[in-house]
Amino acid sequence: MHYSDVYGWIAEEVRSAFPDSSQFISFADAKNKLPFLSAVIGEGLCLNPAFANMLQRCVPADGVTIQGYFTPGGSSIGVSIAACHPNRCLWPNPDRFDPEYFLGADGTEKDKDIPTFSSGVRLSPMSYTGMIFPVNQHAI
């Protein structure tokens, strides 16, 4: 196990928040009562995206200019999820496992910087209801 200390912290957080081991833990309860687990999942999605392929889109008929470059209409463009995550402007040490990014006052704000599941600024992956299964699978 690479991060046995992290495992210990998560186990303690879960046991403290839910002392009755027979209690069903809903996604909402986990999100509200297990901030460190949520942070670890967010960091895990950054380092190992569940979907690493291109998110392809078709350029509108009139074309589009993106950062000064014109792309003709009908062209296929895409964003590599795996290439977005190591952005040093967003993540000071993108190659290091550090769930602290997702904790504190701006922790929830960092969710929008994870483009996995085509979220980005439009949707936080940790709040998207379609993420319940993938996030829970990632947690397991």
* Residue ranges per structural domain of the chain: 4-50+84-139
pLDDT value for 115: 63
* CB neighbour class for 64 (10 Å; exposed up to 12, middle 13-18, buried from 19): middle
Chunked in runs of 10, what are the mean pLDDT values of the chain (140 residues)? 90 95 88 89 81 78 92 88 77 85 76 59 44 46
pLDDT value for 6: 92
Does this model's pTM top 0.85? Answer: no
Half-sphere exposure of 76 (CA within 13 A, CB side): 3
pLDDT value for 127: 46
pLDDT value for 131: 46
pLDDT value for 121: 46
For β-strands 76-80 and 69-71, DSSP reports them as unpaired
